[in-house]
Structure 1
Amino acid sequence: MANREPRVARARAGLDVIDGYMPKSRGRPAGRGKPKRPQRAVRELRLSDRLMRDAVTIVSEDSALEVERWASGWLGSAWSDAGLGEREPEKTFHLEVVGRASTRPSPHGLAAVAALRRVAVPGEWSLLDGTLEILSESQSAPQWFAIPAFEPVRAWRAVDVWDSEHVLFVEFAGQTPHTLMAQISLAGGVLVDKLAILQPGAGETWDRLREPDEVPMPAVECPVEVALAELADALRTTDMTWPRQDDEDFIDLRALAWSRCLPYLPDFRDWQSMGDEERERLLDGFAPADDTVARSLADLFLDYGDGYMTSGPLCWSPGQVGLFLADWLPRKAALDAEQRAALPDVLRRWIRYSLERRAVDPVWISPVVEAVDTFLPAFEEAFDDAAAWGPAKQIAEELAARGIDLTDPEAVDGAMRGLNAERLARRLID
């Protein structure tokens, strides 16, 4: 009997044959019984639906800080999941949550709206405050509802010896004192790499926790408004960068960090190029006027530093060397045989020259110089890959192949007019 039951079950399901024949169906005759209902497609829950389900966990929460982290995590998901064309994903998310909470008033619905309000930007306050006022008439508010916002009281700023990385510590007072930490990378543009909530006093203990062989990065106390303004500026730039920053800690704490620093957001800085006098002074200090190869390469180094190195044209670091050799130089510059052969040695000399002028300890100049050898293979591969060249370099290479002196403005202008005419003619023929 133990072996028979599975086979009988399969036979009744029309999946097996017993003793050579298929048993007759004992179900209803065709046409009798209730008709089958069409299957409904299962609707995928929206992010706001999932938040409302999870909001029951914060109704009885004691810590306002944990509530803010909870709300910030949901807003971070809305921001991270948004497409490139969605400019206000958090606003849309707020509207959905408010709609859900208002349709079926409940304590956890009020808690969800109140939690979002604690980390919302000022433009969203009116919507959330109006909803809370209505919900409070029929629902009891959680105990953390009236806890005041956290206030910044002290700040520290740590800068590495190359000025390629900053770490900010802002200490907040309130129900649960804590420190908001932000790690900001400046190589290749400003980007907030990490956000974290740490214990009070983290800025004061930073130096003691670092290993002796780590890059010097002392934390110095600074005005609160200075640290929060730098954080706000870095967050703005990070938000403008595509693809979006995908570090989990950053996503979870992004809205919380914005709510703390947005009032200190500075205006956009006006970029000003290096003056001709300063450029000539640096070039003269590096190589004599008759060393045309070294000076031409140093001119390229200054172009990169002036336009792409946030901290200044002399703030070279291993990361900046990598970006310069593996990305910028192959895309932007055309080098003749002499320049290409001299590049490694001249770049090493320029790095030493630049960092010595900034009074960087020789111990920390060496890793930057060594980065030249590290990234030279990537430069060689990318420089010879025409598909990776930028438009300006493609044109320069074409003019050079035609024998045009790229240092002669009149010759370049004439050649460009001819080149444009040729391209127009080809398009018309095609």
Structure 2
Amino acid sequence: MTTFDTAVAQARDLLRWRSPLRTELWAGRLAAGLEPGQVEPFLRRLAEDGSAESRLTLAALAAVDQAAEAASGESDGTVAAAGSEDRSARPHTVAGSGMAGALPGWVRLMTRVRCEGAWYGKGDPYGEQTLAALSFCYENGKEPHLLVVGIDQVSGGLAVDALVEEVKFLDDLELRAADPGVVAGRVLDAFELGDRILGVAVADTLPAVRPIALARAHAVPDLVRPAPDDTLTRFRELPELPGAREAFEKLAEFVGDRPLWWSPARASRFLTSWLPREAILSEAGIAAMPDVVRAWSRFSGGHPAVLDQVEADAPRLAALMADESLAGLGKRIAQSHRRDS
């Protein structure tokens, strides 16, 4: 069976189900499965066929493609008419222009959603991957669904997986409620970062969900970009020790915009490598650092493996900070300026 035959058979079922969500997800999978050389012949065959199933296929591909195109800023949101010579629009959008008008009304609901809530948090015990979740329903209030995007922290905060599930899927995730505009901003930031990096390893399922994820995130009002993370400001367990604030400022500099990622390896790297190479601290700051890191580790989940790693590395900190051979170039230059001033 050809791709065309399979698509028409599946579209026939979708016309019976009358589900905008199923149809969008199907269109995303269909588009992701087409090789570049297959796109034009496939669209041409659908246009020539002219059946309701072919029109639905074209309309669904156009809806998902246009929404993702607008979300990524690649167009001004206008759709070129079929046969237009405007090649700035992508082929799915051009081929499917106007098709929805000749189909049942539910088809025109595709991509027309409103955001109902948002959540964000760790996807694993150490926060090496975080999850951004957004719930939606269509303009008619039907088909509530949840978009979940996996954001890899170890690789810099880029999107590596995404799925669309029933809202009850949220019950299995330990995520905090968050501002929808911030969470949607994180999703868009994560996809944008992935677009700038070549050779990123992502889930095989991501290409099919990507256009829907972009469109959903962009549909959220009051987007915040770049999206901040309030984890550091929620930390209230700073020890009452001389130098504790100075120590925490260095910790905050190290975790940067990925504060949920705190694993044994990252804690060890901070104490045994980053601090000796990068940080200039007073004696009080060095003395307070182990207690500050312990408090941060408890705040970050209190995982025994992390706490054990801190206990193993903390006693070495003072000696490592005193070893000038471990200092990086920037630290050596800063220390030289301090001595000369």
TM-score range, shorter chain: 0.5 to 0.7
Aligned length in residues: 284
What are the within-5 Å matches in structure 2 for residues 259-408 of structure 1?
Answer: 259-264=215-220, 266-268=224-226, 284-286=242-244, 305-306=252-253, 308-312=255-259, 317-318=262-263, 321-323=264-266, 325=268, 334=277, 348-355=290-297, 360=299, 364=302, 366-372=304-310, 407-408=335-336
Matched, 1:132 2:107: no
| 1:259 shift after superposition | 1.4
| 1:195 shift after superposition | 2.2
| 1:353 shift after superposition | 4.0
Contact 2:151–2:159 under 8 Å retained in 1: yes
| 1:190 shift after superposition | 1.8
The 1:159–1:177 alpha-carbon spacing in structure 2 relative to 1, beyond 3 Å, is same
Q: After alignment, is 174-183 or 140-149 more displaced?
A: 140-149
Q: Deviations over 1:261-281 (max 9, x none)?
A: 12445444699xx9xxxxxx9
Aligned partner of 1:68 in structure 2 is: 24
The 1:255–1:245 alpha-carbon spacing in structure 2 relative to 1, beyond 3 Å, is farther
Query: TM-score normalized by structure 1?
Result: 0.49
Matched, 1:246 2:189: no
Counterpart among 191, 194, 203 of residue 235 in structure 1: 191
Counterpart among 123, 135, 140 of residue 170 in structure 1: 135
Percent identical:
12
Contact 1:119–1:256 under 8 Å retained in 2: yes
Aligned partner of 2:164 in structure 1 is: 197
Aligned partner of 2:7 in structure 1 is: 55
Contact 1:65–1:176 under 8 Å retained in 2: no
The 3-state SS of whatever aligns with 2:107 is coil
Contact 1:184–1:234 under 8 Å retained in 2: no
Aligned partner of 1:115 in structure 2 is: 60
In 1: Cα distance, 2:8 partner to 2:311 partner: 57
Q: Deviations over 1:358-404 (max 9, x none)?
A: xx28x72644323458999xxxxxxxxxxxxxxxx99959xxxxxx9
| 1:197 shift after superposition | 2.2
In 1: Cα distance, 2:98 partner to 2:175 partner: 50
In 2: Cα distance, 1:96 partner to 1:244 partner: 30
Aligned partner of 1:340 in structure 2 is: none
The 3-state SS of whatever aligns with 1:243 is coil
Q: Deviations over 1:332-374 (max 9, x none)?
A: 9659xxxxxxxxx987544214457xxx28x726443234589
Matched, 1:181 2:147: yes
The 3-state SS of whatever aligns with 1:248 is coil
Amino acid at match of 1:199: E
In 1: Cα distance, 2:38 partner to 2:106 partner: 23
Amino acid at match of 2:293: I
In 2: Cα distance, 1:259 partner to 1:225 partner: 14
Contact 2:160–2:202 under 8 Å retained in 1: no
In 2: Cα distance, 1:258 partner to 1:239 partner: 12
- Structure scoring higher RCO (CA < 8 A, sep ≥ 6) equals 2
Structure 1 unaligned blocks of 5 or more: 1-49, 82-88, 211-216, 275-280, 288-294, 336-344, 377-392, 398-403, 413-430
| 1:170 shift after superposition | 0.9
Two-structure CA RMSD over aligned residues (Å): 5.2
In 2: Cα distance, 1:133 partner to 1:405 partner: 61
The 1:270–1:141 alpha-carbon spacing in structure 2 relative to 1, beyond 3 Å, is closer
Query: TM-score normalized by structure 2?
Result: 0.59
Contact 1:182–1:195 under 8 Å retained in 2: yes
The 1:354–1:143 alpha-carbon spacing in structure 2 relative to 1, beyond 3 Å, is closer
In 1: Cα distance, 2:98 partner to 2:151 partner: 44
| 1:163 shift after superposition | 7.3
Q: Which has the larger radius of gyration?
A: 1
Aligned partner of 2:118 in structure 1 is: 156
